[in-house]
């Protein structure tokens, strides 16, 4: 973990709650292996939810450039990790994002940062997909936006149905991507690098 991370207010209180959780699970939080665990988990959870303190719209506008390019821009295979809000277990995979500029473009890394910010919140995959699309559409005002997210969910792999190789795919689109031909072009361009089992 990056030692330069600034942790948010409430870290000690959060660690205290995790100490109590260990007790409720039947563990001894004072034993050697668990003595520092409550604080480690508290710090980890603040890192995993750092997206709550970041503004994805500002990330896009900080690198906004006038450009008369009006063809599809695709940033694909963006790795992400998130936490399912139902069980607080990880889900992870790849996001593929496209937009068709309407007079302005943004830095390519900023698209990946938007994915990172929204994924570092308690999430469901469907909302994550929609939030990425809405942020790009509302901030850049492109001719269209499309997002496809492919993920594996630990809540399905470790508990419940316990299916190890299932992949969940969600999509959201707007504008020019309402046309089936444009969506098909996007899917053909990302297809060769979609997530494999």
Candidates 17, 86, 126, 184; catalytic one: 86
The verdict on whether 104 is a catalytic residue reads: no
Handedness of CA 6, 10, 14, 19 (dihedral sign): positive
The verdict on whether 155 is a catalytic residue reads: yes
The verdict on whether 125 is a catalytic residue reads: yes
The verdict on whether 86 is a catalytic residue reads: yes
Candidates 17, 23, 67, 85; catalytic one: 85
Handedness of CA 53, 80, 73, 167 (dihedral sign): negative
The verdict on whether 191 is a catalytic residue reads: no
Q: Does 135 appear as a known binding residue?
A: no
Candidates 46, 84, 135, 150; catalytic one: 84
Candidates 130, 155, 157, 185; catalytic one: 155
Candidates 87, 104, 130, 157; catalytic one: 87
Q: Which residues are catalytic?
A: 84-87, 125, 153, 155
Q: Which residues are annotated as a binding site for Zn(2+)?
A: 84, 87, 155
């Amino acid at each position: 973990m990056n030692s330069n991370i600034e942790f948010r207010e409430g870290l000690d209180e959060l660690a205290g709650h995790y100490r109590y959780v260990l007790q409720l699970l039947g563990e001894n939080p004072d034993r050697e292996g668990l003595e520092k665990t409550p604080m480690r988990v508290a710090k980890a959870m603040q890192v995993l939810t750092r997206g709550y303190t970041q503004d994805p719209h500002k990330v896009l506008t900080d690198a906004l450039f006038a450009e008369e390019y009006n063809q599809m821009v695709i940033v694909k295979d963006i790795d992400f990790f998130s936490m399912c809000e139902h069980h607080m277990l990880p889900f992870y995979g790849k996001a593929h994002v496209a937009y068709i500029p309407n007079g302005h473009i943004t830095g390519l890394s900023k698209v990946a940062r938007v994915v990172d910010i929204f994924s570092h919140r308690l999430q469901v995959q469907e909302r994550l997909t929609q939030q990425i699309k809405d942020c790009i559409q509302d901030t850049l005002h492109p001719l269209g936006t499309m997002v496809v997210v492919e993920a594996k969910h630990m809540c399905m792999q470790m508990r419940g149905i316990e299916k190890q190789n299932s992949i969940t795919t969600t999509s959201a689109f707007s504008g020019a991507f309402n046309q089936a031909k444009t969506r098909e072009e996007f899917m053909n361009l990302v297809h060769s690098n979609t997530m494999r089992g």
